[in-house]
Amino acid sequence: MQIELAWERLKAVLDQMGCAVLAYSGGVDSSLLLKAAAETLGPNLIAVTADSPTYPPGELQQATSYARSLGIRHRIIASDELAQEAFAANSSDRCYYCKNELFAKIRRMADIEGISFILDGTNADDSRDHRPGSKAAAEQGVRSPLAELGFTKQDIRDLARSKGLPMWNKPSLACLSSRIPYGTPITRELLATVQAAEDVIRGLGVSQVRVRHHGDTARIEIAQQEFSLILADGVAERVVKAIKDLGFTYVCLDLEGYRTGSMNAVLKAPVSGMDAISSQGAKE
């Protein structure tokens, strides 16, 4: 990818819109899109971030700080997915219900403001995973300029780095619900336990972590090259004790290491209904 050419192509697409509301999570993808939109649309841009119990604490503060640094309008909306029975039940199309609620709220905001375009930070690689949330985006008329232009995750990181974005190498973030197996009801207590367990692992200095909650078992995913951080003398014992103190009986290190969508491994080939949308779902 020629970085400057890609940047100008992105800004040209945004310029054609004239105004937009952007669903801004604070991750690398939506931050890069926000930067381009801020430069192109200026006061005709509104960034919207959801305040949700399914995302780690601190993410909202970081998103707010970056949006403020760009001098754009930034709004925060409450999103309580756990109040939705369909979401809390945690079926394989869980993310559809979350995104449908979020984009419907953003659509109402855009309509009030007289803005036609709603944007999100979906990239070209996202279609490779199970993503029911994409169906909700399509239903609400959300556009994904990064995906439309074929930007991969690596393209976005390279471009974000070249533009000096402070989060260019930020680890991929996913809703805490993605740590809970499909079919296990999602509760605030489970989310808090997962967050606390991941905080234990992050304290070791790992670059990326997922703690998958399998009932009485905590399955830890970190990059294979960082296994030594958790297996060092005395460290494993401290980790096991800290995580068991959170209520787990067993603590396991997944030898496959960190990978996105590991909870989707249990899904069978889609055959009908919403599950037929094999490329639309939650990037875990």
List the domain boundaries for the chain: 3-162, 176-259
Helix H or strand E encompassing 68:
helix 59-69
Question: Tokens 């979020």 correspond to what residue?
Answer: 102
Paired strand residues for 213: 218
Find the radius of gyration of the CA atoms of the chain.
Answer: 19
- Read off the amino acid at residue 229: L
Q: What's the pLDDT score for residue 133?
A: 85
The whole-number mean pLDDT for each consecutive block of 10 residues of the chain, a chain of 284 residues, reads 89 98 96 98 97 88 96 94 94 93 95 97 84 88 96 96 95 91 96 96 96 97 97 96 98 94 70 37 41
Architecture of domain 176-259: 2-Layer Sandwich (3.30)
Q: What is the per-residue DSSP string for 169-200?
A: TPPP---GGGGS-TTSPP-HHHHHHHHHHHHH
**What class has domain 3-162?**
alpha beta
Q: What's the pLDDT score for residue 242?
A: 98
Q: What's the pLDDT score for residue 43?
A: 96
- 62 in helix, strand or coil? helix
